[in-house]
């Protein structure tokens, strides 16, 4: 499978046909029963998401309501191929995505109190991205709190990298083409 299917998100929204085809191929791969090890890694990734969720929710609750510029727009709310792999490994069914319209509009999942999706069901960039005001808020936290936050994010990134590397190896091993 290529790094990103043709028509995948760049600065605009993905081609709906390419998005749905990639999603179906990934879901079929996991449904075929060859993904037991990937599901174990998916559970590890889900636990890592759960570890970062409460601290990030607390940070965004303090910073985001006072922001004059919403960074949660539709362009960023559409998952990449790797997000679809992670969702499948964690046993999550992604929501329906509206792939038409202006990518600069607010994200379809943005509610009055932030994102309506559970953290693990969001594109990874939604967890990983820290705007300047949010990053400053993290950096001025007490040193022990800051280090714990960084360790949790590093653990999340490591769990995701491990899952994606294992997926790539399993995907290539299952591909009958030369």
pLDDT in tens, 133-158: 888 888 888 898 889 988 999 999 99
Residues 69, 143 contacting (CB under 8 angstroms): no
Q: Considering the chain, what percentage of its residues have pLDDT values greater than 90?
A: 30
How many CB atoms sit inside 10 A of residue 118's CB?
Answer: 12
* Model confidence, pTM: 0.86
- The per-residue pLDDT for 177 is 56
Q: What is the per-residue pLDDT across 1-52, written as a single tens digit (0 to 9) for each?
A: 445 444 444 445 678 888 888 888 899 899 887 788 899 999 999 999 999 9
Residues 84, 24 contacting (CB under 8 angstroms): no
Higher confidence at residue 167 or residue 101? 167
The one-character DSSP state at 4 is: S
The one-character DSSP state at 119 is: G
How many CB atoms sit inside 10 A of residue 49's CB?
Answer: 23
Rounded Cα distance, 158 and 156, in Å: 5
């Amino acid at each position: 499978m290529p790094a990103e299917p043709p028509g995948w998100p760049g600065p605009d929204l993905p081609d709906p046909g390419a998005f749905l085809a990639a999603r179906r191929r990934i879901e079929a791969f996991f449904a075929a029963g060859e993904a037991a090890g990937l599901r174990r890694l998916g559970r590890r990734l889900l636990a890592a998401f759960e570890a970062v969720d409460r601290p990030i929710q607390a940070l965004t609750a303090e910073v985001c309501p006072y922001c004059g510029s919403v960074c949660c727009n539709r362009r960023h709310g559409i998952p990449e191929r790797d997000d679809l792999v992670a969702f499948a490994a964690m046993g999550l069914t992604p929501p329906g995505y509206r792939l038409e319209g202006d990518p600069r509009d607010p994200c379809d999942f943005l509610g009055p109190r932030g994102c309506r999706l559970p953290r693990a069901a969001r594109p990874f960039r939604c967890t990983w991205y820290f705007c300047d005001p949010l990053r400053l808020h993290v950096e001025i936290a007490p040193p022990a709190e800051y280090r714990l936050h960084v360790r949790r994010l590093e653990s999340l990134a490591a769990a995701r990298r491990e899952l994606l590397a294992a997926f790539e190896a399993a995907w290539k091993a299952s591909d009958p083409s030369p």
